[in-house]
Every structure is written in structure tokens, then in C-alpha cells.
Chain A
Amino acid sequence: MRIVAEVGGQFSQEETARLTEFGDRQPTETVLNPDAPATMTSRFEPKDTPAAFSALDRLAKTPDVCIHGGFVELNGGRSEGDHLTLRMGRDVPLAAGDLDALTKMLVKRLNAEAPVLKLRLDCISFPSGRELRNFCDAAGEDFARVTWVQE
């Protein structure tokens, strides 16, 4: 895509945005089946607190989503030790709804005016490829970098 801005008959230099069909992925890779269960294997880390809360909320509202590994870190910012952390092992699946409830509880316990949430989810299993795709698009994940497995 070639882009030029115009103001009153004056034009900017032309900029080019490269649109590739596969991104970094090879065309030989497996295509996501929208109807089969899918597990997102690339690490998901929202860039800020609002994005993290929004992602948790979306995952909680999607039925049958499980989290496999990661952590939730809440920081009150009032002192060095003003934080709460929940670590999840990869081998202990946690329903997304449960994780959302736990996070909300931690927020309540922290009782900070503006808690900072740092979220990292190592692996997320979705009931279908469609759900995985919707989640990635809504969270602003670059889909070309997302990896998944399907049975």
C-alpha cells in the first residue's frame, strides 16, 4: 500500500506499507480450522493495564477457555512491597472465568487507587479456532505472529 498525505495541494513523501498474505508464516503451515478446538501456544502479554483487564474479561466471557501457565502481577505503587502475584504452572489448567475472579479478588485485596496489572499467559485453549481468532483480533495481536495447535 502506498500512502501520500495531502494538505492544500501539497503532498508528503510517499510511504509504503507492506501487505503480505502470510506475514512471517510459511504458506505450508496448517490453516486454522474455525470449528475445531485450538490452543494458542504463543505467549500473550497485553501492553498495559486496560488491555490486560479487557483481555481477561473477554476470556472469562468466552465459555470453556482454559489458561495453561503464566502469571498475574498487581502493583499498588505505594511502596516497594506493595504488590500481589499469582503464578500459574503450565500443568495446572485454570478456567479463564476463575482467573478473572481471582484477579478481581487480588485487586480488591490490594486496595490500591490505580493498580497496575501485568498479565502473561503462556498458553490458552479455546473451544474453537473461531474463538481464538476473535480473541486475537479483539486484543490487537498481530495474527501473523500467533501460533496455535489443533488436534
Chain B
Amino acid sequence: MSSLSTAEIPLRGLTDGELVEALVDPVLDVSEIKGALAQLQGQAWYLYIGVDQRIFFGQTANVTAEITEIAANIAEEQVDQTLRDKLKEVFLPRAASLYSDRMAILPALDDIRLEDDRPTLVILERPADALPPDFVSWWEGQDLQNRVLVLTADPNAVSTLRLIARRTRAIDRVEERIRVQHGDASAQMQELLGVRGREAAGFTSALRETFKTIVFPISKSLRRVDDFRMEFDRNDYSGEQQIIDTLSKRGKLIPNDRFDEQFETLRLDAEDILFDADAVQVTSLRRNAAVRPTWYWLPRNGLDQLVRTAVQRGFWRDKDGLVEKRWERRTQVTARLDDFAPNPLETGRFLINVTAEDADTVYVSEQGPPDPAKDKQLDGRTYETAAPAVWFLAVDSKGEAKTGDVCEWRAPIRVKPDVRRLSDGYRVSVLAVPRGAQRSERRLTGQIRKQAPPSPERLSRRQAQASCASWPKSVANFPRRKRLA
């Protein structure tokens, strides 16, 4: 069992059980022995585990020694880059509903670039209890003040993260060497994977203690929230979701599921904070949302949704490229033939879809502009008629909107001939709408096309023209004077 035995097939080292058996005593917990052994394996340079799982000391240094040696020689910049990459993974915006993947991690203040449409997540290595004055001055000098989201990382914890990042980088190099020299299935690779696992666990553990404060802009200053705690769920950490939860709880972020509930507040605040005048461009609203720290953070396209909803609900108006929060309200009514209604040529009736804005009553007349005193009100949003013209007038009975213009709807005039051949000529039936044409001049004119057969001489002018006795369906017979041989 000697580690340095020179026998031909020696039994080297001790198993876990044998070590525990030798070390245990009445006041010592067995799990403490196992923990200490695991720690020792991560630090001892000459400790090995054989294929039979016996632990023994060898004459050459193990991978731990190699990792430690390489780690000591890695440049600071490389370590910081490794740490940035790892933190980028941790805070990667999976939903991208608040900040983008252009995060500023452990940056110099000069390196921070803010975006117009979304906050930029800035991770600063600063003590948790106070924001550095240089950062506050930097923020005050920014135009896009409402686009800064800061997470402070405790410098002591960051030192630990750096140490782990340094070792992680070294592990990568050792892994490369082992893969080339011994292959993926070698005992060295297994040993290395064990070391990597321990480092990863150490990184996760250090992360918990690193980020404790989240900072976001309110009014004229930055607000600090100290109860930001990193929560891991089965070793999975969604930094984005935890930031979203914290900001939602503090009212800075209005998530999609609370949009309807908060709509009225958002609308009124937007009218106060974002509108510089009664009518502004959407781009102006977007700009103010980025510049003014008193404004909320909304999920992606949230401001567009707010504008759309406010317009749909009639609080704002979108007209000529401007969003208006106040305007002189005038009723408006539009009438349009229902494209899916039965064919008027078959039914003789038109179905009209009527849409009124800023009005609760629509008056309708088939004789001219409606008179609210005597003409009837439209029941529902459709009107069925056989008339050639209908007039609609929208009225706001509450008096909030002035009565607008009358909408005049004219029936499309359609005609459809049906030719049937008789033994001595033709029977031509003509269907026409609107039937209101009965009150108009009625005339059915026929003209033989100048093509043969038949030639114009074959049908007299008298035969080609016929008065219609009835409308809309008129029938005229055109007898042939003479058969062609």
C-alpha cells in the first residue's frame, strides 16, 4: 500500500473507506473527512487517484500543479476577458424584453455605449453601499439618462471570481494538452474534469455574493435597490429574469402582463412626461422616453403598444404622422358596401357597413342629409337598402364631440345582360341595381356591334332599341328579319 512502492505490480494508496477508517474518531463527523479529502485533491500537487480508486502520492506533479503554474502566468487582461465572457453568459438576455445583449461588463466609463431604444446593462465593480461619484457624474452628463441599468459587483467577490476565471482559463489550456497527448478517455482527463467541476461550483458560489445592488434612474437621480439577490434554480441562473422581477416590483418596469392594469397610469404619465405639445411625432415620444428618467421602462415595442392602445381607445389620435393627446373632437361616419353580403343583382338590396367615430348615434336618411329631429337612428352597424343613395350623420349625444359632416353613400350601379337565343331571334334580359332607378329615367338601349355575323343591316335600329316596361329586370326580344341561308 506504499505510494512509492517499487514492487512489480504494487498495491498503491488507500481507498476512501480505508482513509476514513484511519482518520475517524468519536468527535469527528465522517462527512468532514470526505470534504477535506476533496479539498486536498484540488490543491495537492502530487496526489493521484488510481484506476482502482485508491488515493496515493506520485513522484511527479499532477494536473492541479500544472493548472496552478499556468494560472499564475496568465495576463490580467486575459483573465478579465474570461470573466466578462462568463458574466455575459450569466446575464444573457434570453427574452430580450428589457436590455439587449450589448452589455457593458466591468467597463471603463468611456467604453459604455448607450442605446436609444433599450436600457444598457452596466456591471460595475464597486462597493455595494455607494455609487462612485465618477459614475454619477458620468450619468449626469449623459443624454440618454433613462437608458442606464447598473448592477454593482462587490470588489472582494470579484477578486474571487477573477481567481476562478484565471484557473478556468488555465484548465482550458491543460485540457487541450491532455486531449492531444492522452485522449478524452484518459485518467488525466477524468481528473481534469473533476477539477473543472469543482471550479464551476466555486464560481457559482462566489456569484451569489457578488451582485447585491441594482441601480436605475428615477427623476433627477439614480435609485439604488439593495435587496437584489441571485437565486439559482437547479444550477440555472437567469440573471435577466431576476433583474426584470426586481424592477417590476419597484415599479420601474411595466411587464406585458401588467400593461392593461397599468394602462391608465401609463397614459396619464405619458401625457405629462413624454408629450412636449398637444401633438407630437412618435419619434419625439421615443426620444423623450429614452431621455427622461422619470419615464418607465416598457418591454420591447411597449411604447408603440401604448400609443396604439391609447389611439384605439380614443384617448389619443394618430393623424398626419402626429400623435395628439388633445384635439377638437368632431364626429365622423363612414359607410362602405359589405363585400361579403349577398349579390345585390340577385337580392336587389345593398348591405352597408357603417362606422362612426366620436359618436354614439347615427341618423340615416334615403332622401337627403338626415335631420336628427325627424329621421330615424341607425340600429346596429349595418344598414340594408335598395335606394340609390343613403345619407348618414353621426352625433355625439353627450355633446363632447361636435357634429361632423354628413356621409353620402351612393349605390354602385350594376347591370347584367342575359342573352337567350330563340328560334327567330334573341331574348335579352337585363338585370340592374339599384332598384331606386325606377324613379329615374329608364331606357334600355341596344346597339349591334359592328362585326359579322350579324351585320348591322340584319337588325333594324328599331329592333335594337326597346323601352323597358319594368325595372330592374327588363326583357326585350329582337326578332330576326330573315334567316341566313
Name A residues whose Cβ lies closer than 8 Å to a Cβ of B. 1-8, 10-13, 15-23, 27, 31-32, 133-134, 136-137, 140, 142-144
Contact = CB atoms under 8 A, between A and B. Distances in A.
Interface in B435-463: 436-437, 440-441, 443-449, 453-454, 458-459
A58 B417 CA distance: 28
A136 B453 contact: no
Contacts of A140: 420
12 contacts: A1-B419, A5-B432, A7-B437, A7-B440, A10-B413, A12-B412, A12-B414, A19-B426, A19-B459, A27-B453, A133-B423, A143-B421
B428 A1 contact: yes
Given A23-B421, A32-B423, A137-B423, 5 more contacts: A3-B444, A12-B415, A15-B416, A19-B448, A19-B459
Interface of B: 388-389, 410-424, 426, 428, 430, 432, 434, 436-437, 440-441, 443-449, 453-454, 458-459, 464, 478, 480, 483-485
A31 B482 CA distance: 12
B422 A5 contact: no
Given A32-B423, A133-B423, A4 B446 contact: no
Contact of A5 (B415, B421, B459): B415
Given A15-B415, A19-B454, A21-B484, A3 B421 contact: no
A19 B445 contact: no
Contacts of B485: 31
Contact of A6 (B410, B412, B419, B441): B441
Nearest to B435: A7
Nearest to A18: B419
Contacts of A7: 388, 411, 413, 434, 436-437, 440
Contacts of A8: 388-389, 440
B446 A5 contact: no
B421 A6 contact: no
Contacts of B483: 31
Contact of A21 (B432, B437, B453): B453
A61 to B, nearest CB: 19
A22 B420 CA distance: 12
A144 to B, nearest CB: 4
A143 B413 contact: no
Scoring A15, A19, A20 by chain B CB atoms within 10 A of each residue's CB, the highest score goes to: A19
B417 A15 contact: yes
Nearest to B431: A5
Q: Do most interface residues of chain A lie in helix, strand or loop, or is the interface mixed?
A: loop
Contacts of B434: 7
Given A21-B484, A142-B421, A4 B449 contact: no
Contacts of A15: 415-417
Contacts of B414: 5, 12-13
Contact of A1 (B388, B411, B423, B449): B449
Contact of B413 (A2, A5, A144): A5
Given A12-B432, A21-B484, A133-B423, A3 B415 contact: yes
A34 to B, nearest CB: 9
A31 B416 CA distance: 31
Contacts of A21: 453-454, 458, 480, 484
Choose among A2, A13, A21, A27 the residue with the greatest number of B CB atoms under 10 Å from its CB.
A21
Contact of A133 (B417, B424, B443): B424
A102 B202 CA distance: 105
B422 A12 contact: no
Nearest to A19: B426
Contact of B443 (A6, A32, A137): A6
Contacts of B453: 20-22, 27
Pick the 6 closest A-B CB pairs, nearest first. Answer: A133-B423, A12-B413, A17-B417, A21-B453, A5-B415, A144-B421
Contact of B419 (A4, A19, A134): A19
Contact of B415 (A4, A134, A137): A4
Contact of B423 (A2, A10, A17, A143): A143
A144 B423 CA distance: 8
Nearest to A145: B421
Nearest to B434: A7
A143 B458 CA distance: 19
Contacts of B459: 19
A2 B447 contact: yes
A32 B419 CA distance: 21
Contacts of A10: 410, 413
Given A7-B388, A8-B388, A144-B421, A1 B415 contact: no
Given A12-B415, A143-B421, A5 B437 contact: yes
Task: Give the interface centre of A2, A6, A31 by most chain B CB atoms within 10 Å.
Answer: A6
A3 B417 CA distance: 8
Of listed A7, A17, A143, residue having the most chain B CB within 10 A: A7
Nearest to A11: B413
A12 B440 CA distance: 14
Contacts of A18: 419, 449
A12 B413 CA distance: 5
Contact of A19 (B410, B424, B432, B478): B478
A19 to B, nearest CB: 6
